[in-house]
Amino acid sequence: MKEELTELWLKTRAIRNRQKDIEKIKSMINSTEINVQVAKEIKINENTATLIFREIYESIRQLGDAKWGLLGYEPLNHEVSMEILKDLDIKDRMKLNFLERFKKTRHDINYRGFRATIPQTEEILDFWNKCGEDILKILKREVS
């Protein structure tokens, strides 16, 4: 993460300094893995798409929170949680550009009463399968 951006977010209170808590970070990573595994076991249909989308989104966001935690910060909004993931060196790095759209979709679901469509849910699951696993590997390596 660019130092200038981190400083700006500190000043605007989008992040705050926190003591690095490795056990909490490990717990977040473990929770993410379990939640994604359960969400992926649910059959996608019109009734379950929103639940699956939201759970995968929250898992991705939680990985961003874990990354910030490794740097000694706590994010205070979803934007910074997702933005930190864009700096990670993963195989399918171009897909990280989808994070902003996922954030908007999740916002519409939570605050505007929208329902996720089956294609939107399939897309976030595809993102997880192509990028989420890579992000997990990076964070596990950094936490050990």
Decide: helix, strand or coil at residue 2. coil
Closest CA to 86 of 25, 131, 30, 33: 131
The pLDDT score that the predictor gives to residue 52 is: 98
CA distance 99 to 93: 11
Q: What angle do CA 76, 82, 88 make, to 5 degrees?
A: 125
The pLDDT score that the predictor gives to residue 53 is: 98
The pLDDT score that the predictor gives to residue 68 is: 97
Rounded alpha-carbon distances, angstroms, from residue 20 to 40, 48, 135: 31, 36, 19
**Average pLDDT by stretches of 10, the chain with 144 residues:** 89 95 97 97 98 98 97 94 93 92 96 97 97 96 94
DSSP letter string, 47-104: TTHHHHHHHHHHHHHHHHHHHHHHTTEEE-SHHHHHHGGGGS--TTGGGGGGHHHHHH
By the 8 A CB rule, do 60 and 103 touch?
A: no
The pLDDT score that the predictor gives to residue 72 is: 96
The pLDDT score that the predictor gives to residue 144 is: 87
The pLDDT score that the predictor gives to residue 2 is: 80
CA distance 129 to 126: 5
Name residue, tokens 């961003």.
Answer: 64
The pLDDT score that the predictor gives to residue 101 is: 96
Q: What angle do CA 70, 106, 75 make, to 5 degrees?
A: 25
In the chain, the domains with their CATH numbers are: 3-143 (1.20.120)
